[in-house]
Structure 1
Amino acid sequence: MAQAPLPPQDALAALGRIRLDAAGVDDVLNTVADLARRSIPGAAEVSVTLLRDGTAQSVAVTGELAFRLDEWQYEQGRGPCLDASVSGDALSVPDTAGEDRWPDWGSRAAEAGVGSSLSIGLPIQEAVVGTLNVYGRAPRSFDGDSIGLAKTFAAYAAAALSNAHLYSDTAILAEQMRAAMETRAVIEQAKGIVMGERRCGPEEAFSLLAKISQDTGHKLRDVAAALVTRATGESR
């Protein structure tokens, strides 16, 4: 039986009662996902994606639909949860049926009965990169309040991951952190270049980079790096 909806303040209070030093990371993330699904207005399913060494995995899901929506992105190597993982941004898909950044995934999501989604990049903690993914049944399910609440849950998930000490080897930790930071830095550089050339805002700039990634079949980081390299060469 589905659990009853929770007022956001009750869900946040429940988060505050979790003992991060006493609970396993899987239990914490599943609790975060469940509370997010029950309290974020418009949420039908929620998942948490982790990206390690280029491999994505759903480590917490509230249902089979969320799992399938994640897996379709992993199979294609692109989608809002993967792009939000490497950029750290909050990516909104207001209408999956009309989505042009990830049209293949968007059309499959719409056919599966999901009309909109949010993917909130987790702050880098212990060299972990990932997202909190929120899926809604109807188009435009999420307003500003929903996005703000989802960011709060994402921050808590990141704190849980940090507390779990997922990477015990200091050398691996340092390398993972360096690579993750470099990836995000080059995407920010590329966004800045696009904003300067097209006189647009950061969201439009990111959408353009994501569309180029989709059209060319190249990873978002590679598209960003190529743009930065071109701009650097032209400026010399």
Structure 2
Amino acid sequence: MAHDPTDSAAAFAELGRIKLGETDLNGVLRRVADLAQRTLPGAEQVSITLVRDGGAHTAAHTGEIALKLDERQYEQDGGPCLEAAAGRTTVPVPDTGTDHRWNGWAQVAADAGIGSVLSVGLPIEEKVSGALNIYGARPRAFHDDAVALAQTFVRYAAVALANAHLYDTTATLAQHMQAAMESRAVIEQAKGIIMGERRCTADEAFAILTRVSQDSNRKLRDVAAALVERTQRG
């Protein structure tokens, strides 16, 4: 794959122009992976590993070989992407055909047509780490300048991903809060209906809703919404 070193500045600028309101975290991850493949010399395929709550997964990839080699590392709990993510460092594999680390993983990569690998730790936030994994077709595909460029790329990408993760988390929290407020409102409406029909207290009305929810194995909000809808139709 051809690379133009002069494109690196444009790539860094593109990372900085990502508008979080126009895409989600997955969209940012895909753009980072695609940009890395286009920008970094020697990159045949690229993937991004994310590690959270003790579990690792490939959040974006530009080719199936990268995905399969990532997943092989997760299965055996060892490999360059996991080391890079855990240590927030750079882990090179100059020649997969002669590397004997990680229980034979490098030989699997060599058999798949990958001659060298470079994984660069990708810090996102305190509870989420990751790695940018660059797979090269030939041995020693990543010279010192390429490694330095990859490390610089990761620093720019980490800012974009950290912002995207915060935006995504905040948006999700806002959605949950909105849903909770809507649930509370419909439950209060249902309680009012029951209180009017049965001349009971608010606590007694809530107990009736709870009992129906348990007996019918439905969520409390769904029971309340059904009662409100039925009353409005009647």
Q: What's 1:161 paired with?
A: 161
**Backbone CA RMSD of aligned residues:** 2.2
Q: What's 1:10 paired with?
A: 10
Q: What's 1:131 paired with?
A: 131
Shift of 1:37: 0.5
CA distance in 2, matches of 1:10, 1:129: 26
SS of match in other structure, 2:81 = helix
Distance verdict in 2 for CA 1:140–1:121, change over 3 Å: same
Q: Deviations over 1:151-177 (max 9, x none)?
A: 12322332233222265699xxxxxxx
Q: Conserved in 1, the CA contact under 8 Å of 2:16 and 2:160? A: no
Q: Conserved in 2, the CA contact under 8 Å of 1:36 and 1:46? A: yes
SS of match in other structure, 2:97 = helix
CA distance in 1, matches of 2:142, 2:102: 19
CA distance in 1, matches of 2:127, 2:162: 9
SS of match in other structure, 1:33 = helix
SS of match in other structure, 1:123 = coil
Question: Aligned residues, how many?
Answer: 168
Shift of 1:14: 2.2
Q: Give the gaps of 5 or more residues in structure 2.
A: 174-234
CA distance in 1, matches of 2:158, 2:125: 6
Report the structure number with the largest CA radius of gyration: 2
CA distance in 1, matches of 2:24, 2:126: 16
How does the TM-score come out when normalised to structure 2?
A: 0.66
Q: Conserved in 2, the CA contact under 8 Å of 1:125 and 1:159? A: no
CA distance in 1, matches of 2:155, 2:51: 16
For residues 14-163 of structure 1, the aligned pairs below 5 Å read: 14-163=14-163
CA distance in 1, matches of 2:157, 2:9: 17
CA distance in 2, matches of 1:78, 1:158: 23
CA distance in 2, matches of 1:149, 1:91: 14
CA distance in 2, matches of 1:132, 1:116: 14
SS of match in other structure, 2:65 = helix
For residues 194-205 of structure 1, the aligned pairs below 5 Å read: none
Q: Conserved in 2, the CA contact under 8 Å of 1:32 and 1:153? A: no
SS of match in other structure, 1:139 = coil
Identity of aligned residues (%): 50
CA distance in 2, matches of 1:158, 1:12: 11
CA distance in 1, matches of 2:98, 2:138: 13
SS of match in other structure, 1:43 = coil
CA distance in 1, matches of 2:100, 2:88: 20
